[in-house]
Chain A
Amino acid sequence: MKILTKWLRAYVPGVPVDDAQLAEDLTLRGIAVEGIYDLGNGNGSLFEMDITTNRVDAMNHYGVAREAAAIYGLALAGLDFALPKAREGAASYPVRIEAEDACGRFTARVLRGVTMGESRDWFAGAEVATYFGLLEQKQISNAVDATNFAWIAMGQPTHVFDLDKIEGGIVVRRARKGERLKTLDGVERVLDAEDLVVADHAKALGLAGVMGGWDTMITPATKNVLVEAAWFDPIAVRRTARRHGLHTDASHRFERGADFNAAPVASGLVSAILLESGGWLEGELVDVRVAAIEVRTAKRKPVELKLSEVHRILGATVDAEGITAATVEGVLTALGCELATCCGAALDGASWQVTLPSWRLDLEREIDLIEEVARVYGYNRFANTLPEFGEGVRALPWAEKEAAVRRTLLGAGFHEAIASTFCSATEAALTAPQPGLSVPLGNPLSEEAGVLRPSLVPGMLAMIAGNLNRDVSDVRLFEVGTVFSGNTEKVEERPSLAFGAVGSLPEQGALQAARAIEFHDVKGVVEQVLERFQSRAVDFDRFPAEAGLTPEWLHPYRAARVVVDGATAGWFGELHPREAAARKLKEAVLVGELYLDRLYRLPLRQPIAKEISRFQPVRRDFSLVLDESIAWEKIDRAVAGLQIPELVEWRAREVFRDRKLGVGEYSLLLGVTFQAADRTLREEELQSFQARVVEAVGKVGARLRS
């Protein structure tokens, strides 16, 4: 919205500051001036305003002038002016409000013998051509310009009909279902039974408070006009406008609440301007009001305001005197309230009954008045105080666990990422841990973002692909975020962790050859994450491809299920080559997801120190030959099954395959450490342990390599 300071100052003579200071003063009181443009030639400035939606009353020149008057303690000029005496009509013009819930006031004025044409630069203070020129508001015709003038001056929508095209008189009513109306934009509309219309005795003339009708619009041939200025209900106008996809100046104002008392003033303004081009008034203003609505708007009950409440909410001020009864009275009176001191004033300071101005429908309660006092007094004149420190600070139960997960991933060289909350239905179907339970959006930003992500994997894959497409070949990312399941009736949210890696290991230097990251690198990270938690058992398992249990996004032979205490806690592995190809990814992509809600049920592992043996450990390596079908897991279990207390550590030190082995065989170097807590191991003990190890692994099919 634009404000001309020249026009504004005409309504508040004597503003003691220049335009720049005026802009600053208004802005600090919530009437924000976003831009100031000097118009030169003594024309003042053009203010570009940004006024919050609750202050629709200030979205016009008179409204801003009222604020300036309150700030500087000045008198505001009136908007009333004399109209020529009306000639007597046959009878007062017939106006009826049928929709009494939605139209609070309808005023009609009949002007006859009017000449339609260019508007002129008329009466006192209203330099229309000048103002419009400076505002770059096109002049169209005197009728249109007159309604625009009333709009820009005081924010009251008005409408001018060609009187001779109205049949019988005005009725404000709900439309009949299927009734037709061609609006001013030339669109032929089929009306809904809920639409509010201004009609005559035969047909709808316009969408009330939204847009006038084509058939009764002013033409160069128009001689006699009817000037409408009314008050329509915000919700009724909003619904009508929405239904027809319209947003007009008029609907904008009515939706936010118009001034019940502005209609006759605006009607007078429009009529006066039109009469400048000839013609006369016929009959007095017809003014139909609905008492029930007037009571809700112009004649609201006064609101009680206590000075003690002002102090309770606002607190300390910078200046010692603070907010006094005089401050409150000064501010509210300037804004158009009427204050009567009242009741129980004695005990806790002053108290008033405040009558609210008809143009401030946003003022309803005591707190609204307190805000006005603070606003005009100036927010920055309040002190900076700190409330007393009360309760202890509580952390979220999973905060520490989430931090531990993040630390582990960061330590493993993965960067944290945040991906879209949404994915396509196809991706959702591919990655949902519980197939079919995905939640679509009603108004998605795009088809690719049509569903709430059931898994973090789609986002991870998109980010990996993004990096590879930008020639970033080493990628290690993780995301901690929310995943969604359920249906459109009930949506469940769970925390999840996804990770993805492509390219070489995190070490980078001139002296080491880069090594491509592979499954077990990622498995190591998963193990580290799981080790943060106190679980009874962690297992990694896989299923034959034909079982159909492995998620479809994973390579069936290079993927693992993560099982913690018997429950699935996630999946990871190489991206299925089919999915990689579909995303044009040539590199092997490692990707996985852990269901953090499952992990968060476990306590964090509390480190407990064991006494470290003072006695010499003995390390032994066994070079084993195994059939390809025998996985490490079997060897691992076989060794564990021995339950030798002195067998303190064992691991696969190397796996290799060479031509000297039989077909379908591989070699494994098993490294074992023996150590006792209380003695040095004797040679015969060691011999016996070793023999037992060989026997145990032999039982699962391993033989010693000769």
Chain B
Amino acid sequence: MNEEIPNLTAFDEAALDEAFARLERQARAAAAALDNDAAVEAFRLEWLGRKQGRLNEVSGRWLKAAPAEAKKLLGVRFNALKAVVEGLLDAALGAGQDGSWGGAALAAEAIDITLPGTRRLAGAEHPITRTLNEITRVFAALGYSVGVGPEVETDFYNFESMNFPPGHPARDTQDTLVVAGQERRPQRDRLLMRTHTSPVQMRTMEQQPPPVRIVIPGKVHRNDAADATHSPIFHQVEGLCVDTNITFSDLKGTLDHAMKALFGSAVKTRFFPSFFPFTEPSADVQISCIFCGGKGCRKCKQSGWIELLGCGMVDPAVFAFAAEKQPGYDPKKISGFAFGMGVERIAMMKYGVSEIGSFYAGDMRFLSQFA
């Protein structure tokens, strides 16, 4: 039951507003709780009853007590309140029946909208796949098709044709997992887990005369002990561009553009001489630290730079191997560049992953973060 209608002492507009608002709140609260016909009838009697109805009481007590100048103000508010209460009653008497949706019947259907939403959990693309796709997309926009090749390679494609001659010390830098039982086979036919995606360069050139523009995403393996940043399994994206008049400055421009596309237009690149048997000149590429913008931070060991990829102009010796099957690869007439990058390293940097092993553990908690 509601409180008794109080006597009013002040009749200014503010006092009247407050008094009527209080009554309206009471009426709405009462209407919202109506859940059966008897309650609706009780509500009607309580508010609109001709003798004891609250509105009747209001008019009796307040209108009489009001000074003449306040009677009009009070009357307007009284009629408004009456309309609200009647509306509440209509709604309670049957939502929709008379076209007035709202009120008690729907109020009874109230739900807790603050409970968290029910989620149909979406699967998450693996961060390595995601990074591989980002990289290939950037190069696709530069005219690069995707090339792939086998994970089990021959010594010829993995090493010899990439200008790692048998017995060459450069082979030592890539600890290789080999397939069992190869000892009796000729060296170039021996099977091994490819240590880089570079052999696909040769496979592609053997299939296709110049020009060539491909990116090669793929899984590679090395006989490396696992630690926070090393894994016997990892992924690379290799790129190859061959045509007439491809220059070192084209290589620089292409990678500078690609790094800006991948890491933001503010990123700067710089090139250092390096050594890879299959390119000459060879370079390592650093980008300005994406965390500190080059000022120096913990991530870049205060240097302002992060080493990200290896590249160079395709070595004429590599073209010579390709020319055995495709004479168009004459190093006097064409030139080209190749580049390669470690996908895990980029993914670790972009997504703040500190252990390379997280990529291969299939831990739902780790993977969910990429949904």
Contacts and interface: CB of A to CB of B under 8 A. Distances in A.
Interface of A: 27-30, 32, 52-55, 234-235, 238-239, 255-256, 312-317, 365, 367-368, 370-371, 374-375, 379-380, 382-396, 399, 406, 409-421, 439-445, 449, 452, 459-460, 462-464, 466-467, 470, 472, 474-479, 481-482, 484, 488, 491, 493, 506-512
B298 interface: no
Nearest to B332: A309
Most buried by A among B148, B191, B257, B359: B191
Interface in B159-185: 167, 169-170, 172-173, 177-182
Interface of B: 115-126, 128-129, 140, 142-146, 148, 150-152, 167, 169-170, 172-173, 177-182, 191, 193, 211, 213, 219, 221, 223, 232-233, 241, 243, 245-250, 252-254, 256-257, 270-275, 280-283, 313, 315-316, 335, 359-365, 367-368, 370-371
A488 B232 contact: no
Contacts, number: 262
Q: Which 9 A-B pairs have the closest CB atoms?
A: A315-B247, A30-B273, A463-B362, A509-B118, A315-B249, A52-B275, A410-B123, A384-B253, A371-B281
Given A391-B211, A413-B122, A421 B246 contact: no
B33 to A, nearest CB: 24
Contact of B253 (A371, A383, A484): A383
Contacts of B280: 367-368, 370-371
B252 A466 contact: no
A418 B360 contact: yes
A417 B247 contact: no
Nearest to B167: A235
Contact of B169 (A30, A256, A371): A256
B152 A399 contact: no
B249 to A, nearest CB: 3
A412 B250 CA distance: 44
A595 B123 CA distance: 21
B193 A421 contact: yes
B221 A421 contact: yes
A238 B249 contact: no
Given A418-B128, A419-B362, A383 B249 contact: yes
A254 to B, nearest CB: 11
B169 A416 contact: no
A444 B175 CA distance: 12
19 contacts: A54-B170, A54-B275, A382-B271, A391-B211, A409-B123, A416-B125, A416-B129, A416-B367, A421-B219, A421-B221, A470-B363, A470-B365, A477-B367, A488-B191, A491-B179, A493-B150, A507-B119, A510-B118, A511-B118
A198 B264 CA distance: 60
A415 to B, nearest CB: 4
Contacts of A365: 316
B71 to A, nearest CB: 54
Contacts of B247: 312-316, 385
Contacts of B122: 410-411, 413
A8 to B, nearest CB: 19
Contact of B146 (A399, A459, A488): A399
A596 B321 CA distance: 34
A28 B305 CA distance: 13
B215 to A, nearest CB: 10
A28 B148 CA distance: 34
B252 A414 contact: no
Given A385-B249, A415-B364, 10 more contacts: A55-B275, A384-B252, A418-B128, A421-B219, A439-B179, A463-B362, A476-B364, A482-B151, A493-B150, A507-B121
B272 A27 contact: yes
B363 A374 contact: no
Contacts of B371: 415
Q: Which of A380, A410, A418, A509: most chain B Cβ within 10 A?
A: A418
Contacts of B241: 387
B152 A441 contact: no
Contacts of A474: 364
A396 B217 CA distance: 12
Nearest to B277: A54
A415 B144 CA distance: 29
A449 B360 CA distance: 14
B248 A313 contact: yes
A53 B167 contact: no
Nearest to B248: A314
A375 B273 contact: yes
A313 B335 contact: yes
Given A54-B275, A368-B280, A488-B180, A411 B362 contact: no
A467 B281 contact: no
A466 B271 CA distance: 42
Contacts of B145: 391, 393-395
